[in-house]
Structure 1
Amino acid sequence: MKLAAAKVPVSTVWTSPDAPRDIDAAAVADKPDVAAWAKSMDTETRLGLHGRTLTQLLFAEPVLVRSESNGWSEILAPWQPSSADELGYPGWVPSSHLGELPGSATAPVTITVPSAELFGEPGSGHVAELSFATVLASVEKADGFTRVALPDGGLGWLSDDVLRAVESPSTPEDRIRLGSLFLGLEYLWGGTSQYGLDCSGLVHAVSRVLGRRVPRDAHDQADALEHIPIDEARPGDLYFFARPGKKVHHVGFVSAEGMLHASETGKRLENEALLPERRETLVAVARF
C-alpha cells in the first residue's frame, strides 16, 4: 500500500468502480463538481445512492491506496475509523482525485464555516472552495491569514476568520453551534461535506473540527464512545437509535429543543423535539 491524499475539495467514496450512475458523472469527474451533483438529484435519485456511496474524503485527507484498476483506487481512510477495516474506512475513489501528501508543517488547523476560499496569496488568487471540517497543516501566519500545506507540494492561504486550531479546547455548546450551521441542508447518504450530510457524517465532521476523531458510522460511534444513562442526557451528548435486534442505524446531537440531526433521505438537517416514534427506538446516550 502507498500513502496519498485527496487533492480535490470533496471526493465521494463508492462501493465499487461500477457503482456511479450516469447522473453521478459530476461527482466522479477529474475535477468533481459536488455542488452541481447534489443539486441535480431529487429524492428518488438520492435514495438510489444507498449501496453505492459510502462516505466522502475532504481536501488533503490522507488515504492508504490498497490497489488501482482502470482509473480507480481502492482506498482506506484512516481519519474515518471503521469496524470494516482496522486501518480505516474502505472504498473506491477515482485515482484522479488523489495526489501526494502535503509536506511537513506545524500545528493543524480546520475550517469552521460551511465553505472557505483557498487563496494563492493572502486574500487574492482564488484556488479552490474548501468544505467545513477540512484539516490542513499550517506553515506560517501573516496579516490575518494562515499559510497551509497542500497536496502535491503546493501552498495556499486561508483567512484566520474561518479557522481554528485543531488542538484548541472545545465545549458541548460548540457541537450544537457548529452543527446548527447546516440547519436546512438536504440529507445526503454518505455525505460529510457542506454539500450534504448524513446523520453520522454530521457527528463525524463536527467532531473533526473540534479535534476529536470518531468513527464514521453510527453503529461504530455507539461502540466507541462512553455510554451514560439515557435520563442524564444533556446538550452536546449523542442519542443513538436501533430497532429491536438490529444494530444502531441513527445518531443525533442532544439539544435543548430535543435533537439536532440529519434525519433521512428526503428531509433536511433539523433541530426538533424528540418525537414519540424516535423515543421508541432510542437505545443509548453517549458522551464525549
Structure 2
Amino acid sequence: MKLAAINVPISTVWTSPDAPRDIDAPATAAQPDVAGWAKSMDTETRLGLHGRTLTQLLFAEPVLVRSERDGWSEITAPWQPSSQDELGYPGWIPSSHLGELPESASDPIAIAVPTASLLAEPGGQALAELSFGTVLASMEHADGYTRVATPDGGSGWLADAVLRSAAEPSGAEERLRLGELFLGLEYLWGGTSAHGLDCSGLIHTVGRVLGLRTPRDAHDQADTLENIPIEEAQPGDLYFFARDGKPVHHVGFVSEAGMLHASETGKRLENEPLTDERRATLVAAARF
C-alpha cells in the first residue's frame, strides 16, 4: 500500500474498472472533462450511474493505493470516512489520475466558490480549473494571491477572494450560504464537485470547506454526527430520512424554508418546504 494524491481537478471513483460505460469516457480520460461529461448525460443516463460510481476525489486529495490492474488503481480515500473501510472510502480510479503527494506546507485553505483557476503566477496563465471543496496547503501570500502546494512537487497560485481558511470559525449562516451556491445544480449520483452533487456529497463537501472531515454517505453521517431531537433542529443542522426497517438514504440541511438538499436523480439542488412524503420518512436530526 502506498500514499498518492489526485493530480487532476476531479477524479470519479468507480465500483470496478469495468463499471464505466462508453459515455463515461470523458470522466475516465487521463485529463478528465467532468463538466462536459455531466452536461452530456440525460436523466436516464444519470440513473445508470447507480451501482457504477461511488464518489469523487478532488485535486491534491490524498489516497491510499491498495493495488493496480490494467491502468486502474484500487484506492481508499482517508478524507472521506466510511463504514465500508476504516482507512477511508474505497473504490477504483484510473491510475493516470494519481501523482505524488504535495510537498509539506501549512495552513490548509479551501476553494469556497464553485470553480477557481489555479494560476502559474499571480494574475498569470491558468493551469487548471479547480472545484469547490478542493483543499490545498498554502505556502506563501503575495498581493492578494496565495501560493499552494500541488502534486508531483509543483505549486500554483489562487486568488485570495476564492479561498477560505479551514481554521476560520463558521456558523449556520455560512453552511447554508455555501450550500446555496449550488441551487439549481443537477443531481449527480456520487457527485462531490461543482459539476454535480448528491445529497450526502453536498453535506460532505460543504463540511470540507469548513475544515470538517465529515463522513461521505448519509447513513454514516447519521451514525457519526451529534444527534439531536428532531423538534430541536435549527437552520444549518441536518435532517435524515429512512423507510421502515431500512438504513438512512437521504440527508439535507435544515433551512428556514424547510430543507436545502440535492433531492434525487432527475432533479436539481433546491431549498424547499418538506413534502408529506419527506415528513413521513424523517427519522433523525443532527448538529453539523
Give the alignment's TM-score, normalised by structure 2: 1.00
> What is the rounded CA distance, in whole Å, between the counterparts of 2:220 and 2:250 in structure 1?
11
Question: Counterpart of 2:152 in 1: which secondary structure?
Answer: helix
Structure 1 residues 208-264: Cα deviation after superposition (integer angstroms, max 9, x where no partner): 000111100000000001111111110000000000000000000000000000000
Question: Counterpart of 1:124 in 2: which secondary structure?
Answer: coil
Residue 228 (structure 2) pairs with residue 224 (structure 1):
no
Q: C-alpha displacement at 1:172, in angstroms? A: 1.0
> What is the rounded CA distance, in whole Å, between the counterparts of 2:109 and 2:166 in structure 1?
5
Residue 152 (structure 2) pairs with residue 165 (structure 1):
no
Runs (5+) with no aligned partner, structure 1:
none
> What is the rounded CA distance, in whole Å, between the counterparts of 2:266 and 2:274 in structure 1?
19
- The amino acid across from 2:79 in the alignment is W
| Alignment partner, residue 152 of structure 2 | 152
Structure 1 residues 101-142: Cα deviation after superposition (integer angstroms, max 9, x where no partner): 000111110000000010000011110000000000000000
Question: Counterpart of 2:82 in 1: which secondary structure?
Answer: coil
Q: C-alpha displacement at 1:19, in angstroms? A: 0.1
Q: C-alpha displacement at 1:75, in angstroms? A: 0.2
Aligned residue runs from structure 1 range 165-244, under 5 A: 165-244=165-244
| Alignment partner, residue 139 of structure 1 | 139
Residue 106 (structure 2) pairs with residue 106 (structure 1):
yes
Q: C-alpha displacement at 1:77, in angstroms? A: 0.1
| Alignment partner, residue 247 of structure 2 | 247
Question: Counterpart of 2:185 in 1: which secondary structure?
Answer: coil
Indicate the percent of aligned positions where both proteins have the same amino acid: 78
Question: Counterpart of 2:137 in 1: which secondary structure?
Answer: strand
Q: Moved runs in structure 1, 4+ residues, more than 2 A?
A: none
Structure 1 residues 31-86: Cα deviation after superposition (integer angstroms, max 9, x where no partner): 00001100100000000000000000000000000000000000000000000000
> What is the rounded CA distance, in whole Å, between the counterparts of 1:99 and 1:12 in structure 2?
15
| Alignment partner, residue 51 of structure 1 | 51
Structure 1 residues 168-188: Cα deviation after superposition (integer angstroms, max 9, x where no partner): 111111110000000000000
Runs (5+) with no aligned partner, structure 2:
none
| Alignment partner, residue 25 of structure 2 | 25
| Alignment partner, residue 262 of structure 1 | 262
> What is the rounded CA distance, in whole Å, between the counterparts of 2:147 and 2:25 in structure 1?
33
Question: Counterpart of 1:243 in 2: which secondary structure?
Answer: coil
> What is the rounded CA distance, in whole Å, between the counterparts of 2:123 and 2:92 in structure 1?
35
> What is the rounded CA distance, in whole Å, between the counterparts of 1:84 and 1:284 in structure 2?
22
> What is the rounded CA distance, in whole Å, between the counterparts of 1:127 and 1:110 in structure 2?
17
> What is the rounded CA distance, in whole Å, between the counterparts of 1:125 and 1:214 in structure 2?
34
Question: Counterpart of 1:93 in 2: which secondary structure?
Answer: strand
| Alignment partner, residue 9 of structure 2 | 9
Question: Counterpart of 1:91 in 2: which secondary structure?
Answer: strand
After superposition, the CA RMSD in angstroms is 0.4
> What is the rounded CA distance, in whole Å, between the counterparts of 1:198 and 1:176 in structure 2?
16
Question: Counterpart of 2:3 in 1: which secondary structure?
Answer: strand
- The amino acid across from 1:95 in the alignment is S
Q: C-alpha displacement at 1:148, in angstroms? A: 0.2
| Alignment partner, residue 95 of structure 2 | 95
> What is the rounded CA distance, in whole Å, between the counterparts of 2:112 and 2:142 in structure 1?
19
> What is the rounded CA distance, in whole Å, between the counterparts of 1:109 and 1:123 in structure 2?
19
- The number of residues matched between the two structures is 288
> What is the rounded CA distance, in whole Å, between the counterparts of 1:164 and 1:260 in structure 2?
22
- The amino acid across from 1:57 in the alignment is L
Question: Counterpart of 1:188 in 2: which secondary structure?
Answer: coil
> What is the rounded CA distance, in whole Å, between the counterparts of 1:11 and 1:240 in structure 2?
27
> What is the rounded CA distance, in whole Å, between the counterparts of 1:212 and 1:235 in structure 2?
18
Question: Counterpart of 2:106 in 1: which secondary structure?
Answer: coil
Question: Counterpart of 1:147 in 2: which secondary structure?
Answer: strand
> What is the rounded CA distance, in whole Å, between the counterparts of 1:138 and 1:105 in structure 2?
6
